[in-house]
Amino acid sequence: MGRHNLGTVISFEVIRTLTKKRFWIATLVVPLALIIVIGLVVWSNETTSRQVSEQKTAEFTFTYVDDSGYVDPAVATALGGAEATDREQALEDVKAGRIDALFEYPSDPVTQPTMVYGVDSGVFENGKYAAVARHILVTSSQARIGDETVAALVQGNVSVTSTTYKDGGESGGMNEVFPPLIFLLIFYVVIILLGNQMVTSLLEEKENRVTEMILTSLDPTTLVIGKVVSLFIIGVVQIVVFVVPIIIGYVFFRTTLNLPYLDLSHLVVNPGSMIVGALLFVGGFTAFTGTLVAIGAVMPTIRDAGQVFAPLMIMIFVPFYAISLVVSDPHALIVQVFTYFPYTATVTVMLRNAFGTVSPLEATIVIVEQFVLSVVMLRLAVRLFRYGSISYTQKVSIRAVLSSPK
Amino acid sequence: MTEETVTEPLVHIQNFRMDFGGNTVVSDLSFDIDRGETFGFLGSNGSGKTTTIRALLGIYKPTSGTLHINGREFRPEDGEKLGYLPEERGLYKAESVIDVMTYFGRLKGLNKRAAAAWSMEYLERVALTDKAKLRIDKLSGGEQQKVQLGVTIMNEPELLILDEPTKGFDPVNRRLLMEIIEAQKNAGATVLMVTHQMEEVERLCDRVVLLKDGKAEAYGTIAEVQDKYGGTVIRLEYSGEIPDSAHYEVTLRGKRQAELTVVGHVDEAVILRELVDAGVMVRSFQTAKISMDDIFVRVYGEQHEAAEA
């Protein structure tokens, strides 16, 4: 009898997930929240920028007292100001509302504050007085320099392009670091988005008491592999849902959204690093998946599984606590421990691979370790599922399962 | 000379032993189930019935022994036509009835269209057509049981294994269930049934095995098992004092009524003569076969008492 049970499991799992409202709510809530936040930020930036611009050139009546000698009367006059002859009278005029503001520039504006007095025109509008007072001083100072380039250099507007050499050839520098890190990003996204589903997916069979029906219709290995593959497909769908709006936004609305131009042509793709990154991703993903599936098979409920699931998730973030050592001193003891401990190895070696601090031997050992762990954990998961998922209400003794006949 | 055809039993269990972490659940169990028969697998709670079924279905690997269906160990991927209604029941609760039934149909080798068509036909038979698109958890417990039974029989199984099939059914649905089981049996299915309902055993089963202390306590046709435990009971209406005798045991004693279980193969007339000779005034003397219920109580009663003590 021709059975296509792997395909049946995958299509059942994928379709039933993708047709659930709660999946789309969970999937869309993050990008929607991001879109809303980004929209608010863009709108706020535009508003702030417009307000600053308007405030710098805001037209109101003011007088000023210049003890510094840096203020160019022409600049102040152009903005509607006039030098005060009597400071006390000028302040009285402000208090009485006859003029809008008085600026008092001290003898040393670098160490002493410039005093601004103005007619209250609301919390937000009041900012225009300080903006104009500052603008007058900066513009007057730039005018004293008399050279726009020097003025820009003084402000630190400098562009630098570095070229470094490694083994006689031009090295990619930071441009070589980013491409392999894409695997680390995908690893985090997939594990964070799907980790919980991996655990609950098999727990569902257990909590619904459906395991025995399944096990007499289907080989547990097929079920576990079907679950893993379908989760991966669901993960790809989620990533597409995240990424497509970003790409559309960048390609078609970059100018409107004030997004910076990303010049990807400078990125250097090192085939060796990319292959290592890809292998680490596949090995790490399957090792974590196998482990999470095994947790789901052992624990009686989602709450129980959460107690083990959380520490496992923490482990993939732990290497970032030592990231400076990971990058700068890969031979430090803690980095070596993280490099070879199975559940910190993926992230640590992905980072080291990106920064070029992992040797081919180390990379090979860790990749092999990850794949061996994947096979062991998946086999263990199948075994635990076979026995553990029938122990519907209690935690399974792993020792008992392992000591039972194969 | 007549030609005899020897047919291999559909289920063959030989010297099955199952240990869990040092605990022996089944120590040495052997029995066969012939094709087309309805077989009762009996035993008290915790006697190892479900463990045996799980081992037969490859869910557990036996510590030792042989468990064969159709001459080989069961593997789902071999495409054996088998229906299993486990004691622990459940379905994907968040999915619709028709989706779950179609999924299991496909796992059992039907194509999607055939599985959906069969499911709708079955739902009509059990009056659940209007609930086909409802989520499983929106159904009542009895309705869920009906759906689960449908999933069990949807591939027209050659072997139907039912672990406590009437558990959770009301009398109306129990009758419907029995009709469905009988229909399967009439269609040629072999039925292995675990139940504590002894009247079902007497009505449906051709042969039984009683599991006790990890071994077969009794095995054979209903009549053979009844014979083993005395076979005959005498229901008596009387006055006077019933004397002790090697020919019977007084299994129930009332003021004017008693039940005597015949020990060994002794003519009931001999017992009647003994009673009359002892001065017992016999008003009514009826013989009947010992019920499976009585046998069950006799076999497992001591265990229950020991457990309670």
Q: What is the pLDDT of residues A230-277, one digit of tens each?
A: 888 888 888 888 888 788 878 887 777 667 777 777 777 888 899 999
Does B3 have pLDDT greater than 50?
no
A394 touches chain B (CB under 8 A): no
User: Do B130 and B191 sit in the same domain of this protein?
Assistant: yes
pLDDT digit string, tens, across residues A275-308: 999 999 999 988 888 888 888 777 777 777 777 7
So what's the pLDDT on residue A184?
Answer: 92
Q: What is the mean pLDDT of chain B?
A: 87
User: Do B252 and B190 sit in the same domain of this protein?
Assistant: no
- Percent of chain B at pLDDT exceeding 70: 95
The domains of chain A, with CATH numbers, are: 53-154 (3.40.190), 173-403 (no CATH)
Which residues on A lie below 8 Å from B106 (Cβ)?
5, 8, 12
Q: Report if residue B265 sits inside a domain.
A: yes
Distance, in angstroms, between B107 CA and closest chain A CA? 6
User: Do B93 and B163 sit in the same domain of this protein?
Assistant: yes
The tally of domains found in chain B comes to 2
CATH number (domain holding residue B260) = 3.30.70
So what's the pLDDT on residue A128?
Answer: 84
Interchain contact, B91 vs A217, CB within 8 Å: no
B79 touches chain A (CB under 8 A): yes
- Rounded to whole angstroms, how far apart are CA atoms A341 and A318? 12
Residue type, B110: L
Low-confidence ranges of chain A (pLDDT < 70): 1-4, 45, 48-49, 51-58, 257-258, 388-406
Structure tokens given for A15: 């379709």
Beta bridge partners of A104: A65, A115
The sign of the dihedral angle between the CA atoms of A65, A70, A73, A77 is negative
Residue type, A399: R
Interface mutation target, options A205, A207, A210, A224, chain B, most CBs of B under 10 Å: A210
So what's the pLDDT on residue A2?
Answer: 39
B285 touches chain A (CB under 8 A): no
User: Do B234 and B173 sit in the same domain of this protein?
Assistant: no
Q: Which of B109, B92, B105 is nearest to A20 (CA)?
A: B92
Residue after which a domain boundary falls, among B204, B221, B238? B221
User: Do B60 and B191 sit in the same domain of this protein?
Assistant: yes
User: Do B51 and B168 sit in the same domain of this protein?
Assistant: yes
Q: Report if residue B1 sits inside a domain.
A: no
User: Do B271 and B244 sit in the same domain of this protein?
Assistant: yes
CATH number (domain holding residue B215) = 3.40.50.300
Interchain contact, B90 vs A404, CB within 8 Å: no
Range of the domain at B256: 230-289
User: Do B240 and B164 sit in the same domain of this protein?
Assistant: no
Q: Report if residue B295 sits inside a domain.
A: no
User: Do B110 and B85 sit in the same domain of this protein?
Assistant: yes
So what's the pLDDT on residue B13?
Answer: 95
Residues B10-20 have a mean pLDDT of 92
Give the pLDDT band (50/70/90) at residue B190: very high
So what's the pLDDT on residue A47?
Answer: 73
Q: Which of A219, A403, A192, A162 is nearest to A312 (CA)?
A: A192
Q: Report if residue B297 sits inside a domain.
A: no
Of A304-318, B129-143, B246-260, highest mean pLDDT: B129-143
B114 touches chain A (CB under 8 A): no
CB neighbour burial string for A57-91, b if at least 16 within 10 angstroms, e if fewer: ebebebbbbbebebbbeebbeebebeebeeeeebb
Q: Report if residue B95 sits inside a domain.
A: yes
Distance, in angstroms, between A203 CA and closest chain B CA? 11
Residues B90/A209, Cβ–Cβ less than 8 Å: yes
Q: Tell me the residue length of chain A.
A: 406
Residues B215-221 have a mean pLDDT of 89
User: Do B260 and B119 sit in the same domain of this protein?
Assistant: no
Taking the CA atoms of residue A344, residue A346, residue A348 and residue A353 in that order, the dihedral angle to the nearest 10 degrees is: 170
Q: Report if residue B3 sits inside a domain.
A: no
Which residues on B lie below 8 Å from A406 (Cβ)?
61
So what's the pLDDT on residue A397?
Answer: 64
Beta strands in chain B (DSSP E): 11-20, 23-33, 38-43, 64-69, 82-85, 159-163, 190-194, 207-212, 215-221, 232-239, 248-253, 257-262, 281-289
Q: Report if residue B108 sits inside a domain.
A: yes
- Rounded to whole angstroms, how far apart are CA atoms B173 and B178? 9
Q: Report if residue B106 sits inside a domain.
A: yes
User: Do B147 and B209 sit in the same domain of this protein?
Assistant: yes
User: Do B234 and B217 sit in the same domain of this protein?
Assistant: no
A196 touches chain B (CB under 8 A): no
Which residues on A lie below 8 Å from B94 (Cβ)?
16, 20
